Amino acid sequence: MPRRGTVASTSPSHEGRATRHASWLELFFDLVFVAAVAALATQLHADHSVRGLAVFAGLFIPVWWGWMGYTWYATGFDSDDPVFRLGLLGGMLAIAALSAGVAGAASGDSETFVIAYACLFYILSALYGRTWLQAPEARSLSARFAIGNAFGATLWLLSLTLAETVRPLVWSAAMLLLIATFVFAPWRSLSRPYDGEHVAERYGLFTIIVLGESIVVTVAGLEIGSSLSAAIVAVLGFTVAAAIWWLYFDLFRGMPIHGGFGARFVWAQGHLLIFAGIAAASVGVEFAIEAAVSGESLTLADRLPLAAGIAVYLLAMAAIRGATRRLDRVVALRLATAGTVLALGLAGSGLEPLSFVALVAALLVGEAAIELPRARR
């Protein structure tokens, strides 16, 4: 056991170790991302045009990457001492400020968002610097992460010297640097201190966070005073969320250990589409409930968040299965269902909100009913 107050680096194999579960601090850390996801969903609700969907996706990536950076660090180097705890608590404050700045970043006032994001990764860089000092066996790994995260944070800050219209280009370059750091920092490293089962549990917990938006929408739709049609749409929205949950948690067995770098990369990064798709779908259900209350039809912009969200979720699930297991009928089924849902969203102009959500729910439940028994066999 590592001495308390020193950075712990877990062994590459993890054989003979008890399964590690999320700590209370990790669960507390996740709470602030509830606010971040809610802020992103609110922004998509305010602007769900094609541009609004692009802005939602563009802001979702850095928010999710912040969660992922801290999650992987805590998985490998959780010392559970005051310095580690203060580092994660500082990251929580940065994410809270980031959440408050989402609306500004989407509307041309990004200073709060940028400063908060830079602080988030400066703190993470400092944590890796501490690891460099206290864990010699992980020194090369931690040095690469510390330097890459610091440079990425600096690029975010430097974007403030430019006009708002140009800043997103610098943000993209900064994100590419942060992603490249994550990909190449472990390269040729003898120490790979990550517990695949623990990482899978952390990803599952973030899935629960984004599914929480669907529950909030369901509660709003069942609120006293809603129309019967809106209440039924809310129930169908919950059915969609339940099917998403069932498919994800009944079939995923954790990050692949022996599938090679490509399989692990697709598994880890493919979750971005899973998370963003679920969050967008919850906003789409909210539009359907609002349209049902007012007795209006859904426009294309109203239908796209739900249809595109479900399609993206299924595409990610298909890609992950194909990369980590094999290309089979389950992959084909997911792709076919994704295409059908997306086509329904694009061509369903004559559908009422209740009919549209009912068809989407039926497609997803039908896909699950076919897939789950086959997958178990």
Helices (H) and strands (E) in the chain, counts: 13, 0
Give the integer Cα–Cα distance in Å for 155 and 170.
7
Write the single-letter amino acid at 51.
R
Query: Do residues 179 and 59 both lie within one domain?
Result: yes
Q: Domain boundary residue among 152, 184, 216?
A: 184
Same domain, 156 and 296: no
The verdict on residue 291 lying in a domain is yes
Q: Tokens 């849902």 correspond to what residue?
A: 341
State whether 224 and 280 are in the same domain: yes
Same domain, 179 and 56: yes
Task: Compute the residue count for the chain.
Answer: 377
Say how many domains are in the chain.
Answer: 2
CATH code assigned at 325: 1.20.1410
Buried b (16+ CB within 10 A) or exposed e, 285-321: bbbbbbbbbeeeebeeebbbbbbbbbbbbbbbbbbbb
pTM: 0.86
232-237 own/partner pairs: CB under 8 Å, 24+ apart: 232/292, 232/354, 233/285, 233/288, 233/289, 233/292, 233/353, 233/354, 233/357, 234/285, 234/289, 236/285, 236/354, 236/357, 236/358, 236/361, 237/282, 237/285, 237/288, 237/289, 237/357, 237/361
Q: Which amino acid is at 109?
A: D
CA distance 320 to 247: 13
* Tens-binned pLDDT, residue by residue, of the chain (377 aa): 344 444 544 433 344 445 677 889 999 999 999 999 999 999 999 988 888 889 999 999 999 999 999 999 998 888 889 999 999 999 999 999 999 999 999 998 999 999 999 999 999 999 999 999 888 888 888 999 999 999 999 999 999 999 999 999 999 999 999 999 988 877 555 455 567 778 888 899 999 999 998 888 888 777 755 688 888 999 999 999 999 999 898 866 566 555 567 777 888 888 999 999 999 999 999 999 999 988 888 999 899 999 999 999 999 999 988 888 778 888 999 999 999 999 999 988 878 999 999 999 999 999 989 987 766 65
Q: What is the pLDDT of residue 34?
A: 92
Residues 280 and 311 in one domain: yes
Asked if residue 227 and residue 134 are part of one domain, the reply reads no
Q: Which domain holds residue 319?
A: 196-376
Pair (206, 140) in one structural domain: no
Between CA 140 and CA 78 the distance in angstroms is 18
Whether 330 and 237 map to the same domain: the answer is yes
Whether residue 15 lies inside any domain: the answer is: no
Report yes or no: 363 and 336 within 8 Å, Cβ to Cβ: no
In a domain, 18, yes or no: no
In a domain, 13, yes or no: no
Residues 151 and 262 in one domain: no
What pLDDT score was predicted for residue 309?
A: 95
Residues 86 and 30 in one domain: yes
Distance CA 88, CA 101 (A): 20
Is the domain of 140 the same as that of 265?
no
One domain, residues 78 and 138: yes
